[in-house]
Amino acid sequence: MRVIADGLEWSYGWDKATAIRLRFLLDFSYSTGLRNSEFVSATLRQISDGDDGRRWLQVVGKGSKRGRVALPPLATGALDRYLVARGLPTTPSHWRPDTPIVGRVAVDEHGAISTARLWAICRRFFRLARDRAGRDESRRGYKAARGITALDEIHPRIACASPYAVRRRWHGHHSPQV
């Protein structure tokens, strides 16, 4: 999936800012396991450094429960790259606390996107990835002759991918929220 995400502007005609945001969404959501609602409501104010040297994101999750999520290197690196792409500082002391972590790709770059828009962006990408895998299937003569398709090989990572599937996959690889 990452190969497809890295070539969105050149190979698939995506706007550069939209492609950058999508790559951020993939890396940050996979490495944190945030729910869509937690993701779109998060601001830079909610990020803090812990006593253990790690960065944490304070969230209000399902059922209005407060918690915190560790930001591993994949998440912090993705956030730094995304902030630079948005023309924002990466140093916490220079952050505007009310800046949404996920911004709009529009004139008002400081506004947050909606949960529905986040879902639509990810769904568009996952459909592209699924369709791309289907096209690659015809190039796999050996496996195709044996009834193994490209979609079978990558199921459920792409064939049934969605923002929710990324979250489920995260739970299979990471420790739960604290």
Task: State the pLDDT at residue 149.
Answer: 47
More confident residue, 82 or 2: 82
Q: What is the pLDDT of residues 10-53, one digit of tens each?
A: 888 888 988 899 899 889 988 888 888 888 889 999 999 988 88
Q: How far is CA 129 from the centre of its chain?
A: 14
Task: State the pLDDT at residue 154.
Answer: 47
More confident residue, 108 or 49: 49
pTM of the model: 0.73
Handedness of CA 33, 38, 42, 47 (dihedral sign): negative
Task: State the pLDDT at residue 44.
Answer: 96
Distance CA 67, CA 118 (A): 22
**CB contact set of 83 (below 8 Å; sequence gap of 6+):** 89, 90
What CATH number labels 2-173? 1.10.443
Annotated domain spans of the chain: 2-173
Distance linking the first and last C-alpha atoms of the chain: 29
Task: State the pLDDT at residue 59.
Answer: 92
Q: How many DSSP H helices and E strands does the chain contain?
A: 9, 3
Task: State the pLDDT at residue 107.
Answer: 46
Task: State the pLDDT at residue 76.
Answer: 96
CA distances from 105 to 3, 22, 77, 111, 140 (A): 22, 11, 20, 9, 38
Contact, 79 vs 28, CB < 8 A? yes
More confident residue, 148 or 76: 76
